[in-house]
Amino acid sequence: MIIEKLKIINKTGLHARPATLFVDKSKKFKSEIFIEKNGKSVNAKSLINILSLGVEQGQEIILKINGPDEVEALEELKKLIESGLEEGE
């Protein structure tokens, strides 16, 4: 299992469109992926679960990834977050 703390830098946090990008990217991996904020942990492959966290700009989340492609998953998701969740633009 890999655990990594990341800071959300995009203006809208993990809401609507950015959260959708994150979910879509997470679903490409076989590993289990969870996002934790303030002690609440949710499945990162569920848009509703991510939106329920209410992650805003400047807040930190903890990614927990466990599975056969966990290293690759962390690299890709970390890159997406550090880019401001603006992939594809």
Which domains are delineated in the chain? 2-82 (3.30.1340.10)
Which residues are part of the catalytic machinery?
Answer: 15
Tell me what the mean pLDDT of segment 74-82 comes to. 95
Q: Is 23 exposed, middle or buried (0-12, 13-18, 19+ CB in 10 A)?
A: buried
Query: What residue has token string 């996002």?
Result: 35
Distances (CA, A) of 88 to 35, 52, 57, 58, 67: 22, 25, 20, 22, 26
Whether this model's pTM surpasses 0.95: no
Check whether 15 has a pLDDT greater than 70. yes
